[in-house]
Amino acid sequence: MENDTSRELLTLAEVAHYLKVAEKTVLRMVHNDEIPSIKVASQWRFRRAMIDEWLAARMKSPPKSELVKLIEATREPVPLSRLTEKRHILLSVTPGTKEEVLRQLVRPLVEAAVVPDGEEFLAKLMEREHMISTALGRGVAFPHIRRQKESRTSQPVLVVGVCRQGTDFDALDGEKTTLFFLLSTDSDVVHLRVMAKLNMLLGERKLNAKILAARDEDAVLQALQEEDRT
């Protein structure tokens, strides 16, 4: 018989003892689909290896910020101006290769300790670009990693980059890219809602013009705040 503890099935009581919590706490997590489990003959069972993976993932993931909770829980418009600060706005992005441009956009996240490892985050951005370019055309690109959970940041941060000369970012329409919006978040919901709002606003080109005409970071923040009020 195979004696592999990584495949061992645990009972409710054993999992509670393993996690150092009450059985009713584990049962509540089961009913809320918060912990991997399976029902066998009216009894809950847990695979040790899956519990270990689940526990490791929770240890790596920071708690959600109040802003993330708000965005996920409501259908109110996403407050773009609350996602960025002056230090996250780059008005002089230098043209270059994709990696060179992305490295500039990642730098504010590293300096603000938003991402734990800048090189790792950059590698994930490049991995996504190798699949298909995040430059959607109209001079705009939305760089992002493939799996949001891997960003390991609870507070969503939007980096706004302006490359006035334009740079080749493999845009779908073949045009040079001048505006970059890099969102770092571990929430798929936040990512999708922010990208949807940006895509709508930038499609109308009003926000594009305001940001490109901005002389300083305050003007960019004001443009975002005006969109939040509409």
Q: Which residues contact 102 (CB under 8 A, 6 or more apart)?
A: 122, 125, 126, 129, 143, 182
Same domain, 144 and 220: yes
Of the residues 35, 60, 85, the one at which a domain ends: 60
Same domain, 85 and 175: yes
Write down the residue that tokens 């009913």 correspond to. 31
Read off φ and ψ for residue 90, nearest 5 degrees: -115, 115
Write down the residue that tokens 């504010």 correspond to. 108
Same domain, 47 and 79: no
Same domain, 29 and 117: no
Same domain, 79 and 104: yes
Of the residues 38, 60, 82, the one at which a domain ends: 60
Same domain, 108 and 11: no
Q: What is the CATH number of the domain that holds 10?
A: 1.10.10
Same domain, 49 and 156: no
Domain span holding position 43 = 5-60
Contact present, 160 and 214 (Cβ < 8 Å): no
User: Which secondary structure element, helix H or strand E, spans residue 9, and what is its range?
Assistant: strand 9-11
Same domain, 52 and 90: no
Same domain, 38 and 91: no
Q: In this predicted structure, what is the pLDDT of residue 38?
A: 85
Q: In this predicted structure, what is the pLDDT of residue 186?
A: 81
Same domain, 39 and 115: no
Q: What is the pTM of this model?
A: 0.68
User: How many separate domains does the chain show?
Assistant: 2
Query: CA 80 to CA 226: how far, in whole Å?
Result: 10
Q: In this predicted structure, what is the pLDDT of residue 154?
A: 59
Q: In this predicted structure, what is the pLDDT of residue 50?
A: 77
Q: In this predicted structure, what is the pLDDT of residue 103?
A: 97
> Tens place of pLDDT for every residue, the chain, 230 residues?
444 444 578 899 999 888 888 888 889 888 877 788 888 888 898 888 778 777 765 555 445 555 455 555 666 667 888 889 999 999 999 999 999 999 999 999 998 888 878 899 999 999 999 988 999 888 999 999 888 777 767 578 999 999 999 999 999 889 999 999 999 888 887 888 888 888 887 777 788 899 999 999 999 999 999 988 87
Same domain, 15 and 81: no
Q: What is the CATH number of the domain that holds 164?
A: 3.40.930.10
Query: CA 68 to CA 52: how far, in whole Å?
Result: 26
Same domain, 189 and 225: yes
User: Which secondary structure element, helix H or strand E, spans residue 227, and what is its range?
Assistant: helix 217-229
